[in-house]
A and B are shown apart, each in its own frame.
Chain A
Amino acid sequence: QQQVKQSPQSLIVQKGGISIINCAYENTAFDYFPWYQQFPGKGPALLIAIRPDVSEKKEGRFTISFNKSAKQFSLHIMDSQPGDSATYFCAAGFDRGSTLGRLYFGRGTQLTVWP
Chain B
Amino acid sequence: DAGVTQSPTHLIKTRGQQVTLRCSPKSGHDTVSWYQQALGQGPQFIFQYYEEEERQRGNFPDRFSGHQFPNYSSELNVNALLLGDSALYLCASSLAGGSLPILYWNTEAFFGQGTRLTVV
Contact = CB atoms under 8 A, between A and B. Distances in A.
Interface residues of A, number: 28
A103 B48 contact: no
Interface in A89-114: 89, 91, 95-108
Interface string B76-120: 000000000000001010101010011111001111111000000
Contact of B108 (A41, A46, A96): A46
B48 A42 contact: no
Interface of B: 4, 6, 31, 33, 35, 40-45, 48, 50, 55-56, 58, 90, 92, 94, 96, 98, 101-105, 108-114
30 contacts: A4-B42, A6-B42, A41-B113, A42-B114, A43-B113, A44-B43, A44-B90, A44-B111, A46-B109, A89-B42, A89-B43, A91-B42, A95-B104, A96-B104, A97-B102, A97-B103, A98-B56, A98-B101, A100-B104, A100-B105, A101-B56, A101-B109, A102-B33, A102-B58, A103-B35, A103-B45, A104-B45, A107-B40, A107-B42, A108-B42
